[in-house]
A and B are shown apart, each in its own frame.
Chain A
Amino acid sequence: MRASWRETLLSYTFLAPALVLLGLFTFYPLIYGSYLGFTQYDGARFAHGLGPKWVGLGNFRTLLADPLFLTSLWNSVKYLLVVPALQFASLAVAVLVSRELPAMPFFRAAYYVPVVTSISLAAVMWEWVYNRSGTLNWTLKALHLLPQGAAFGWLNNEHTAFWAVMLVTFWRGFGYYMVLYLAGLQGIPEELNEAAILDGAGSWQRFWRITVPMMRPTILLCSLLSTIAALRVLEEVLVLTNGGPLNSTYTALMYVYSKAFQGFDFDYGLASAAGLVVALVALLLSLANFRLFRDADGSQG
Chain B
Amino acid sequence: MNPKRFARLFALGLSLTLGTAAAAPVELQFWTWYLSPKFDNYIKSTIDAFQKANPDITVKWFDKQDSMVQDFISSVNLGGAPDVLNLNIDETAKAAQNGFLRDVGGLTSPALLNATYYPQSIKNFTTNGKVYGYPWYGWLNEGVMLYNPDLFKKAGVTHIPRTTSELLTLAKTIKDKTGAYAWVPAMKDPNTASFLGYFYSEGLPIYDAAGKAAFNTPKHAALLQQYVTLYKGGYIPEDVVRREAFQIATELYTQNQVALIVGGPQALTRIKDTNPALYAKTAVTSAPLGSAGVQTGGSMDLVIPTASKHPAEAAKLAAFFTNNANQIAFAKVVPVVPTTRAAQLNSMFRAGGADPIAKATGLVGSSGRYINPGYKAPTNSDDLYKNLNDNVEAALLGKKTAQAALDDTVAYWNANMKK
State the A residues within 8 Å of B (CB): 42-44, 46-48, 132, 152-153, 155-156, 158, 241-242, 245-247, 258, 261-266
Contact = CB atoms under 8 A, between A and B. Distances in A.
16 contacts: A43-B73, A44-B99, A46-B98, A47-B98, A47-B100, A132-B238, A156-B239, A241-B242, A242-B190, A245-B393, A246-B394, A246-B399, A263-B91, A263-B191, A263-B382, A264-B97
A122 to B, nearest CB: 17
Contacts of A265: 94, 98, 380-383
B397 interface: yes
Contacts of B239: 153, 156
Most buried by B among A48, A258, A263, A266: A263
A266 to B, nearest CB: 7
Contacts of A152: 238
B238 A43 contact: no
A47 B69 CA distance: 13
Contacts of A263: 69, 91, 94, 191, 382
Top 9 closest pairs, chain A to chain B, by CB: A47-B99, A43-B98, A264-B94, A156-B238, A47-B100, A44-B98, A264-B95, A265-B382, A47-B98
B306 interface: yes
A245 B239 CA distance: 10
A262 B67 CA distance: 10
Nearest to B190: A242
Contacts of A42: 98
Most buried by B among A43, A47, A132, A264: A264
A246 B70 CA distance: 27
Nearest to A68: B386
B390 A46 contact: no
A264 B98 contact: yes
A237 to B, nearest CB: 12
B73 A264 contact: yes
A197 B239 CA distance: 55
Nearest to B383: A265
A237 B98 CA distance: 29
Contacts of A245: 241-242, 393, 397
Contacts of A261: 70
A156 B187 CA distance: 14
B204 interface: no
Contacts of B381: 265
Interface string B71-110: 0010011000000000000010011011110000000000
A44 B73 CA distance: 11
A156 B242 contact: yes
A44 B97 CA distance: 8
Nearest to B387: A68
B241 A47 contact: no
A261 B191 CA distance: 13
Given A47-B99, A245-B393, A266 B399 contact: no
Given A246-B394, A263-B69, A265-B94, A46 B77 contact: yes
A164 B98 CA distance: 39
Given A245-B241, A262-B382, A265-B383, 16 more contacts: A43-B73, A43-B98, A44-B98, A44-B99, A48-B99, A156-B242, A245-B397, A246-B394, A246-B397, A262-B69, A263-B69, A263-B91, A263-B191, A264-B100, A265-B382, A266-B73
A269 to B, nearest CB: 14
Contacts, number: 68
Contacts of B73: 43, 46, 264, 266
A20 to B, nearest CB: 21
Interface residues of B, number: 29
Nearest to A152: B238
B99 A242 contact: no
B306 A242 contact: no
Contacts of B99: 44, 47-48
B385 to A, nearest CB: 10
A47 B76 contact: yes
Contacts of A47: 76, 95, 98-100, 306
Nearest to B306: A47
Interface string B361-394: 0000000000000000000111100100010011
A261 B68 CA distance: 11
Contacts of B97: 44, 264
Nearest to A133: B257
Contacts of B95: 47, 264
A176 B90 CA distance: 43
Contacts of A158: 397
Contacts of B191: 262-263
Contacts of A44: 97-99
A39 to B, nearest CB: 16
Contacts of B91: 263-264
A156 B398 CA distance: 13
A153 B238 contact: yes
A245 B94 CA distance: 27
Interface in B308-323: none
A263 B93 CA distance: 11
Contacts of B241: 156, 245
Interface string B225-242: 000000000000011011
Contacts of B98: 42-44, 46-47, 264-265
Given A241-B242, A242-B190, A245-B242, A264 B394 contact: no
Given A153-B239, A264-B100, A247 B390 contact: yes
Nearest to A149: B234
Nearest to A266: B73
B168 to A, nearest CB: 21
A79 B353 CA distance: 57
A117 B351 CA distance: 50
Contacts of A262: 69, 191, 382
B185 to A, nearest CB: 16
A34 B239 CA distance: 39
Contacts of B190: 242
A29 B77 CA distance: 16
A246 B405 CA distance: 12
B88 to A, nearest CB: 12
Nearest to B238: A156
A156 B240 CA distance: 9
Contacts of B76: 46-47
Interface string B330-369: 0000000000000000000000000000000000000000
